[in-house]
Structure 1
Amino acid sequence: MRNQIASFLLAVQFLTRLPVPGWFTYTEARMATSAAYYPLVGALVGAFCSAVFWGALLIFPLLVSVIIAVAAGLLVTGAFHEDGLADTFDGIGGGHTRESALEIMRDSRLGTYGTLALVAALALKAATLTALPAHMLLFAFPAAHGLSRLSSVLTIATSRYVRAEGTGKPVAKGLSLPSLLIAIITGAAICLAWINLLPVAPLLYGLIGLAIGHVAMRAFFEFKLKGYTGDTLGAVQQASEIGFYLGLLAWL
């Protein structure tokens, strides 16, 4: 149990900028099992966004409240996944070969392709969320954030890490079946919570949109990279999250 708590705290530390207790010791084994808790951490980030949205909506119009909620998510995660999205587009767009793409993705500077991807992603989020009913957004944030992190975990489980070293290497080497099952069960619990509070139909549309985002983003980078990196996991998360919101909108 102590190891599982430590793995959860490592997931919080890795995916967010939230402070965590310093009693646990980092090990590659714990880092590997931390992927099991990515969907749970995502759901908690989404719940925070929902709370911020609800508070903002008491004072501001819907669009302003949505932007504040999205900004709150960026703040609590340090724009971790958005950075991965930008690096992925810079690398795939600017690299003519697999090696040059990987080298560009290591560069911390933001290029044209990454800038355009970020602008498009944030604009899509704001526009889509504003078009959804306000009461649905309270549940859409935690569902989308949690399930999109599960989407990243499924990428780890079904693809290969293409760098010799990197922040994602311990997870890529050690994602076990129990860890994958914990992540999947967490995703199922998120869906069950939705079904108990809202109609099933919009959830199904959201899951279809999420799956399309997942497959499309993987097709975009895996054709050239023949696998994934930490940056591309962020890109998968973003595409999956946006796909979930678009699926909800398609249901209306």
Structure 2
Amino acid sequence: MTMPPFLRNILIACGFLSRIQIPARLFEGFDGRFAPIAHTFPVAGFLIALPGALLFWLLLMLGASPLVAALLALGLQTLVTGALHEDGLADCADGFGGGASRERVLEIMKDSRVGSYGAIALVLSFTLRAAMLAALAERLSPLAAAILLPAAAALARAFMVTHWQSLPSAREQGLAAAAGQPDVFTAAMALAAATILAGIPVLAVLGLPALFLALLLAAIGAFLITRLAARRINGHTGDTIGAVEQVGEIAVLLAFSLVA
């Protein structure tokens, strides 16, 4: 039985965005260009965040501290993704913080070592997300708080695609360049998919104002990073795409915690 193309693309996206093992046969005939299937990234993000959400719910049901539960859930989520987006955030912070020229920024971002700016960015990312998840757990039921984690992951990955589409690749070679560039329709489809997928639990738990505020704050975060990347390196890299995802999660969780 042949797998439907949309489902196959979701699984390929899961393999690209995480360490989840996808059967090799699904990649037969795939040319390595992820841009045309970027509209599936929000769905993949939602699925990738489910293990962390399940752990978050389970720990809360067992009486764990909301902050401890949030930190452990984020830790599991990071293991599932292989810290893909966290690495991008750290590299961007180091590059934009320490590079004076375009060439130097790109050189720093390519360096695997984490500097002061990157370390601070990672601490802030984990601290802010954990604090906001803990705040949600204190105000909502365990299940309601937990389902907002994959909703945030889906929305963040939609803005990751919009950033990717908005700028050309800053490098002629590299992962982002090899993956191609999504077109406007693909980016719009990603945003629509994320809004629908995340909108179901968000509307059920927090209502329309929370969804609207989440989209607004995530859009502002993506816009600011896109403007910064355009000014400093004249394009996007895999690291700037990852940074947009992290900032998007922070923005969405902030919106949820403000409304809850």
After TM superposition, the score normalised by the length of structure 2 is 0.88
The answer to whether the aligner puts 1:63 opposite 2:67 as a matched pair is yes
1:143-182 aligned within 5 A: 143-173=151-181, 175-176=182-183, 179-182=186-189
The answer to whether the aligner puts 1:187 opposite 2:191 as a matched pair is no
The answer to whether the aligner puts 1:19 opposite 2:21 as a matched pair is yes
Measure how far apart 1:225 and its partner are.
1.2
Rounded Cα–Cα distance in structure 2 between residues aligned with 1:29 and 1:176: 16
After TM superposition, the score normalised by the length of structure 1 is 0.91
Rounded Cα–Cα distance in structure 1 between residues aligned with 2:17 and 2:32: 17
Which residue does 2:216 correspond to in 1? 208
The residue type paired with residue 201 of structure 1 is: P
The answer to whether the aligner puts 1:117 opposite 2:121 as a matched pair is yes
- For residues 157-185 of structure 1, the C-alpha deviation after alignment (integer angstroms, 9 at most, x for no partner) is 22211110111123334x24553354233
Measure how far apart 1:204 and its partner are.
1.9
- After superposition, the Cα gap between the structure-2 partners of 1:233 and 1:204, relative to the gap in structure 1 and judged at 3 Å, is same
Q: Secondary structure at the match of 2:13?
A: helix
- After superposition, the Cα gap between the structure-2 partners of 1:12 and 1:223, relative to the gap in structure 1 and judged at 3 Å, is same
Measure how far apart 1:227 and its partner are.
1.4
Count of residue correspondences: 251
RMSD (Å) for aligned C-alpha atoms = 2.0
Which residue does 1:74 correspond to in 2? 78
Rounded Cα–Cα distance in structure 2 between residues aligned with 1:205 and 1:177: 23
**From 74, 99, 105, the counterpart of 1:101:** 105
1:219-234 aligned within 5 A: 219-234=227-242
Measure how far apart 1:194 and its partner are.
3.0
Unaligned runs of 5+ in 2: none
Contact 1:6 1:30 in 2 (8 A): no
Contact 1:87 1:114 in 2 (8 A): yes
Q: Secondary structure at the match of 1:168?
A: helix
Which residue does 2:91 correspond to in 1? 87
- For residues 29-77 of structure 1, the C-alpha deviation after alignment (integer angstroms, 9 at most, x for no partner) is 6533231211111111222221111111122121111111111110100
Measure how far apart 1:247 and its partner are.
1.4
Greater Cα shift, 70-79 or 181-190: 181-190
Contact 2:210 2:255 in 1 (8 A): yes
Unaligned runs of 5+ in 1: none
Measure how far apart 1:217 and its partner are.
2.5
